Amino acid sequence: MEKQNAPIGVFDSGVGGLTVAREIMRQMPTEEIIYFGDTARVPYGSKSKETIINFSRQIAAFLQSKDVKAIVIACNTASAFALETLQSEIDIPVIGVVKPGAKTAAQTTKNNRIGIIATEGTISSNIYTKYLKQIAPKAQVFTKACPLFVPLVEEQWLYDSVTIEVADRYLSELRAYDIDTLVLGCTHYPLIRHTIQKVMGEKVHLVNPAYETTKELHQVLEEHQLLATRDVMDKINHRFYVSDGSDKFRMFANSILPCQVEEAKAVSVEQYAVSGKEERL
Ligand code: DGL
């Protein structure tokens, strides 16, 4: 296969990264995706940096065994903790979702008051605040970890009264800060966007980093002369892999993606383990 028509690897701890895969399918319909959801080890948000780097290395090695031409870390937590490591260890383009999300927030806010909601890991890494201070030094940033959102989304309780109650508890603090922009800093959160919008009020602009991430992906592939050369009418064969719960994942994927997911194969990525540079030598 020509290098340009090789697939793009996309990964997350579970179903959240499908919100990024969906955006890639929408903006770049000639690209093929290999998606990996680490459903056996979700959530990532409460785990240490070392653990997330270890998981991310295994997944990247698995995706590379499928000859992907680039990797999108469709997970804010893994982007916060493992992007630099993967970029330094892998010789294909690797992009994350945090910088694009921060960029969009900086372009969107009018009153320079930006909220970030994300996992405990992403919030404690301080990475959104760091990027925002670089791009928009005047911005005031208010952060809130919302750890219960991920299991609620994985359970598909997207429209449940429990989800509204949990959102209300987490977000009441942010409502008091008069923010006009709120970054959905976890790829699971766009799936409960309507609830978050309802709780925050219509005036707050919600930022889903998936849109800007896809634009960055396009630009990076173009720079590396790696954009797919196939025709939009050609058959595209997206493939899906998980570490557990294939059927549940497949059903969820079919409810949100524009393509039919016939199968989600279960794989054990530990066997692709690369635990550090030393072992590569
Ligand atoms: N969806 C991921 C993120 O963007 C991870 C959520 C989790 O597994 O805790 O951070």
* Residue of 10, 11, 13 with the most ligand 1 atoms within 8 Å of its CB, for mutation: 13
Residue 143 to residue 185: CA distance in whole angstroms: 10
Q: Which one of 55, 56, 73, 76 would you pick to mutate in the ligand 1 pocket, going by the greatest count of ligand atoms within 8 A of its CB?
A: 76
Q: Phi and psi (nearest 5°) for 67?
A: 60, 45
Q: Locate the ligand 1 atom nearest the alpha carbon of residue 185 and give its number.
A: 4
Please state, in angstroms and rounded to a whole number, the distance separating the CA atoms of residues 241 and 37. Answer: 6
The count of residues in the chain is 281
Cα(225) to centroid(ligand 1), Å: 31
Q: In 3D, which of 89, 99, 110 has the Cα closest to residue 185?
A: 99
Residue 69 CA to ligand 1 centre (angstroms): 24
* Burial classification of residue 259, based on how many CB atoms lie within 10 Å of its CB (0-12 exposed, 13-18 middle, 19 or more buried): middle
CA distances from 207 to 106, 107, 239 (A): 10, 10, 28
Measured in Å, residue 81 CA sits from the centre of ligand 1 at 12
Q: State the DSSP code for 98.
A: H
pLDDT of residue 279: 45
Estimate the crossing angle of helix 210-223 against helix 98-108, to 10 degrees. Answer: 120
Give 152's contacts (C-beta < 8 A, 6+ positions apart): 158, 160, 162, 163, 166, 192
* pLDDT number for residue 98: 98
Q: What is the pLDDT of residue 275?
A: 54
pLDDT at 232: 85
Active-site amino acid positions: 75, 186
pLDDT of residue 280: 42
pLDDT of 93:
98
Q: Which atom of ligand 1 is the closest one to the Cα of 80?
A: 10
Positions of the chain with pLDDT lower than 70, given as ranges: 1, 274-281
- Encoded tokens for 104: 């969009």
Say if residues 20 and 210 touch (Cβ distance below 8 Å): yes
What pLDDT is stored for residue 97 in this prediction?
98
- The pLDDT value given to residue 233: 86
Q: Cα separation of 91 and 94, whole Å?
A: 9
Sheet-wide strand order for 33-37: 94-95, 70-73, 8-12, 33-37, 239-242, 264-266
